[in-house]
Amino acid sequence: MKKRTLYLLCFLATFYFFDGCKRSADRRYIQIKGSDTMVNAAQLLSEKFMQQYQDIFVAITGGGSGVGIASLINETCDIATASREMKPKEIEMARKRGGNPVEIVVAYDGIAVIVNLKNPVEQLTMKDLNRIFTGQAGNWKEFGGPDLPIVLLSREVSSGTHIYFKEEVIREGKRDSTAEFSPDALLLTSSQTIVEEVANNQAAIGYFGMGYISDRAKTLKVGSDGVHFYAPDIKNVLSKQYPLSRPLYFYTNGDPVGIVKQFVDFTLSPEGQRQFAETGFVPREALSE
């Protein structure tokens, strides 16, 4: 009897071992790379998606929009997440390699500008931001703040947020402009790092996607005309009154198919869009309501 029981246990162990191996072999993967702005939302999306589709594994990697787009061009990811549009030269490079980038708007965002909690400044114009981040204005007292030299914090150059801020603030939306950030700007690798630096430095100013807004720093209101100022929130992004509003993107190589299409469809579904709302962004469908 003991020997029979032992044989049975060995059989079951062998069965479950090979069955587990089969399930592992059948498990399918989606590789997503890119925007640090979107990484928290993408991780939440992937968790909810994998709860429904347990035979599919979704791997999320940040690094910046430029990193994701380069990975898509090099065919080392299935979906590139980006907080900016692909550049014409990137699209051309992809097509030369046989690719066909397809753009999908998945949500909307507002670029938040933050300062230390002890800084009395509450609002700035787009022109103020231009003067600050190009180095033309170097002391907070010019804006009603303390007599301190302004410490500039920026995302690194591979970041879509960096590129968007440069186009809209540094170059004031002028396509022929060659203006650049002040050489004194500190380039940081993540939005969370900017939060930490601003929280610990009374003279600092930085920016990031509104999904990273927290009570550890003060979020400034921003205006275009010097009269009306708006906070980066869902209401003001929906009304387009907040001047630093932008779409967030998925890019795929050709129209999504198979499990990639399943993930994209889930992202655009009401449940998927809720994950963007929960991480501080504006759901895509909200703008059409």
List the one residue out of 89, 69, 127, 95 whose CA is nearest residue 249.
69
Does residue 220 share a domain with residue 143? yes
* CA separation, residue 203 to residues 20, 70, 138, 156 (Å): 56, 35, 10, 20
Does residue 229 share a domain with residue 115? yes
CATH number, domain with residue 9: 3.40.190.10
- The average pLDDT across 246-272 equals 96
Does residue 84 share a domain with residue 55? yes
Tokens of 140: 């907070």
Distance of CA 9 to the CA centre of its chain: 50
Does residue 102 share a domain with residue 176? no
Q: How far apart are CA 200 and CA 193, in angstroms?
A: 11
Does residue 136 share a domain with residue 87? no
Does residue 13 share a domain with residue 92? yes
Does residue 116 share a domain with residue 104? no
Least confident of 19-28, 41-50, 99-108: 19-28
Does residue 234 share a domain with residue 207? yes
Tell me which residue range forms the domain holding 218: 109-245
pTM listed for this prediction: 0.81
Beta bridge pairs of residue 33: 61, 80
Tokens of 68: 């994701």
| Helix boundaries (H) for the chain | 2-26, 39-52, 65-73, 88-96, 126-133, 160-165, 191-199, 234-238, 258-268, 270-278
User: What is the longest distance spanned by two Cα atoms in the chain?
Assistant: 90
Q: pLDDT digits over 146-204, tens only? A: 999 999 999 999 899 999 999 999 999 998 999 999 999 999 989 999 999 999 999 99
Residue 129: how many CB atoms within 10 A of its CB?
24
Helix crossing, 39-52 with 270-278: angle to 10°?
140
Total domains, the chain? 2
pLDDT number for residue 43: 95
Does residue 153 share a domain with residue 38? no
Does residue 51 share a domain with residue 14? yes
Per-residue pLDDT band for 289 (boundaries 50, 70, 90) equals low
Does residue 182 share a domain with residue 54? no
Burial of 52 (0-12, 13-18, 19+ CB in 10 A): exposed
Does residue 177 share a domain with residue 152? yes
